[in-house]
Amino acid sequence: AQKITQTQPGMFVQEKEAVTLDCTYDTSDQSYGLFWYKQPSSGEMIFLIYQGSYDEQNATEGRYSLNFQKARKSANLVISASQLGDSAMYFCAMRGVNAGGTSYGKLTFGQGTILTVHP
């Protein structure tokens, strides 16, 4: 079984500052992928960034970076230079392949963190 934990129900940040959204995970899979999605109030889930469990370098996508610490089973999202448009719900998710080589075929999501950017 897989489990994603996001311990911050809400976070506040000042415009132009950096913010870190926490994500820890639990899995027995040998190989897995970690994802972050953004959900504005409109409802759409927007893919932000991906990190593979065997990737040695932390993933980066523009202002988004993923602080991956495999031993601690954490995959925190860092947003640099926050903008007002970053205000949204953020979800951490993962999917993996078990030792038998079959895939669960589904993303497991955390509870989400609501980020509010203040001007």
Contact by Cβ (8 Å): 104, 40: no
Using left for φ > 0, alpha for ψ between -120 and 50, and beta otherwise, residue 29 falls in beta
CB of 8 to other proteins, least distance (A): 15
CB of 58 to other proteins, least distance (A): 16
| Residue ranges that bind other proteins, judged by CB under 8 A | 29, 31-33, 35, 37, 42-47, 50, 52, 91, 95-97, 102-103, 105-107, 109-112
CA–CA separation, 8 vs 61, rounded Å?
A: 23
* Cβ distance to other proteins smaller for residue 32 or 68: 32
Residue type, 9: P
CB of 34 to other proteins, least distance (A): 10
* Cβ distance to other proteins smaller for residue 64 or 109: 109
CA atoms within 13 A on the CB side of 53: 18
CB of 73 to other proteins, least distance (A): 16
